[in-house]
Structures are given as structure tokens and as C-alpha cells.
Amino acid sequence: MTHDSVSIVAAAHSPFGRLDGINLEDLIVKVTRDALADAAIDAAEIDALFLGHFNSGLAADGFAASLMLQADPQLRFKPATRCENACASGSAAIQAGINAIRSGAAELVLVVGAEKMTSNSTADVTRALAGAGYQHDEREAGLSFAQLFGQVAQQYAERYHSPLASMAAIAVKNHANAMSNPLAQMHRVMDFEHCNNISQSNPVIAQPLRLTDCSLISDGAAAVILASPRRARSMQRQVAIRAMTQVNDFLPLSSRDVLAFEGPQRAIHGAMREAGVTLGDLSFAEVHDCFTIAELLIYEAMGLAPKGEGHRALDDGTVRHGGRLPVNLSGGLKAKGHPVGATGVSMHALGFRQLIGQPIGLGVPRAEFGLLFNMGGMAVANYASVLQAVRA
């Protein structure tokens, strides 16, 4: 098969979780070296480097792009740029790498996403992440993202019906999937009764969100190497990025209907349209389940179910392992972990592994197309990618 897409030709991925004794530089250097080894190339062949890193005070390293150069002396003097777009910083870095190749400025690009979060208290992490919300409206500025997504769940209940049972089912599904992912942060089976009920071990975090509705505070890193069509043909493996779209929405929630999830919907359908595929062509999807209500809304944004009826995709098994379109086989942000700058790169690294037939964790036999959706803020910076297997 011939194509003119930028391709992923190698990937690397650290474990996600509380990685004590490992700092941000360690994470970046390790996945950089691992990606170069996976590609079987010399560092000197890399033309440009991009780092996805949110930070927002989470680490003292405010100028981290050149930390990638620590991985190999041959990377010295190469252009390295940090990209930040809240929890979509990793996807922003990948898009920057794609654009560098499309412009003709590079043929091989190394992209790393990384975040070190667990050295901070939960309160400090919550405050840092809240900086990605709108700061010029006192009704929004004082709210954590758990509180913001809690409001979304309340609005969903008011407009349609209570989403709590569906949210619990999403948590159960993603934790079950993570059991097969050796890199996932949380290897713990969660049953529906536990996730659907408030208890001492599952308290309310922000009404009506329970602990099991919230993603994890994580350390971790991932990397991919991107190649031009010409360069990709000389590599051992390649997965084509058939499309990647970015759609940004207004930052203030008061300016939009948050239940419509218009930014995610436009990004996802724009990517599928550019790639020339439909939902029926997709083999799997990795989506941004920062909170379980987000995954439910993403089902509706994808078109798996009408607005207010996202539960159908769960009830009929569509999004489950073995279903027509399994979602978050990795365990998702909910159980795999969510080191925010790494998340978008992680999705692409795991998608690459799925499509070359070497999945990390649960696999889809003969997977052909994968959809990835990563968002920053409350559906503000929305990135969707369609990857395609390239077989002889």
C-alpha cells in the first residue's frame, strides 16, 4: 500500500504511576533512548525534537525541551521545542512534529510527552490543573476540574437522566482493561456495586463524582518517532497518521453548551472525514476519560449513540473488549494513568503498537484503523487522530 501520510515508525512508553526516585529528566531521557532503540537508528538521524509538557508549577523544570538532548550526545544542537496545551500537550507536540515534516524542514522527528506529578500533594496538583480553566470569571476560577465535570454530570441528569450508573460501568470497564496492561498505574478489578455506590473507599469527590469517576495523579512518559513518507519506507515498521485535526473552543464555559461537546465532535468527525473512514471502519479507540462523564459524552460526540443516550454503547457491548469498537483497551486515563503532558503521546504510542500487531495489553486482531482523542481543559483544545496499519 502506498500513502503520503506522515508515519509513526517507533514508540516507547514508561510505566505510569507513582515513580518514586525518578525525576522529569529521567523520564524524558529513558523514553528518548528507548524510542531510538525501537527505531534502530542513530540519534544523529533525528532532525527535530518536540516535547509535550504541561507543568503549570508541577515541577521546577520550566524549560525542559533540551532535556531530550541528555539522552545522546548526537542530539546536541538539534532544534528542540516544548509544546503546551493543557492535558493535550502531548498531541500538540505530535502535531508540531507532523507540521515540521510536512513543511519539508524535517524527515525524522522525535516526540516525547512527559509529566512528573506525584511529588506534589493532591491539593497542589488540583490547583495546578485548575490553571487550565478560565480565570476571569469568579464562578469558574475557583473550581477544580472535578467540580467542573461534576457540574457537567449534574447538567446531564437535569437534561436527560442520571448518568451515574453508566459512569460506574465505564470505570468498571476501564479497570478491567487495565489488568492486561503491564504499564498501567492501577491493576485492581473494580466491580459495579463498588463504583456505583458511595462508601468510605469510594467517597464523593465533587458532587456527584465519586472517587472511581476520577482519573489518577501520575508520573510517566511516552515517545514516538515520526517519519516522512520517503523516510518511512526505509524503516522496519510504519503506521500511517491518516489524519490529525485540532479544534479549539471558547475557554469560558458560559460561552457554550458543555453537554454538546462540540469541540470533540468537530475534531473527531473532522479527522474521520479527512482520513476517509467511518465509525464502522475503526478497530479501536483511545479517548480522553479524565472523568467517566467525559467518556460518556465522547461516545455521543463520536456518534456511537444519540445525545443523552451514550449508555447504549455500553449496554450493547459496542465499546467493550470484543465489541464492535472497543474504547480504552489500555485502561484509559482512569486506570492506565494520566501524566498530563504524556497522555497524547501515550495514545499514539499504544495505537502504533496495536496496529503493528504488538499491543501492550489487550489487542484487536488484524486492527486496521484506530481513533485517538485527546483534549485539554473542559473540551477546549481537542485533538483527534486516525491511524492506519501499513502492511506489505
Query: By three-state DSSP, how is residue 329 classified?
Result: coil
Q: How many CB atoms lie under 10 A from the CB of residue 235? A: 17
DSSP string across 14-44: ---B--TT--HHHHHHHHHHHHHHHHT--GG
CA–centroid distance for 254 within its chain: 26
With H, G, I as helix, E, B as strand and everything else as coil, classify residue 114. strand
Q: Is 338 a catalytic residue?
A: yes
C-alpha cell at 173: 470497564
Please give the full DSSP string across 82-99, using - where no structure is assigned. EE-BTBTHHHHHHHHHHH
Cβ atoms within 10 Å, residue 254 = 10
Q: Kindly state the DSSP code that residue 77 receives in the 8-state scheme.
A: T
Catalytic residue among 83, 87, 214, 290: 87
Quote the Cα angle for 28-31-32, to 5°.
80
9 backbone dihedrals φ, ψ, rounded to 5°: -120, -5
Q: What is the DSSP letter of 378?
A: T
Joined grid coordinates for residue 132:
487550565
Catalytic residue among 13, 288, 338, 348: 338
Local structure of 13: helix, strand or coil: strand
Contacting residues for 259 by C-beta, under 8 A, at least 6 apart: 152, 155, 156, 159, 297, 307
Residue 348 is among the residues annotated as catalytic for this protein: no
Tell me the CA distances in angstroms from 121 to 117, 126, 131, 217, one per residue in order. Answer: 9, 9, 16, 10
DSSP one-letter string for 146-177: HHHHHHHHHHHHHHT---HHHHHHHHHHHHHH
Start-to-end Cα distance in the chain: 7
* Residues annotated as catalytic (active site), given as ranges: 87, 338
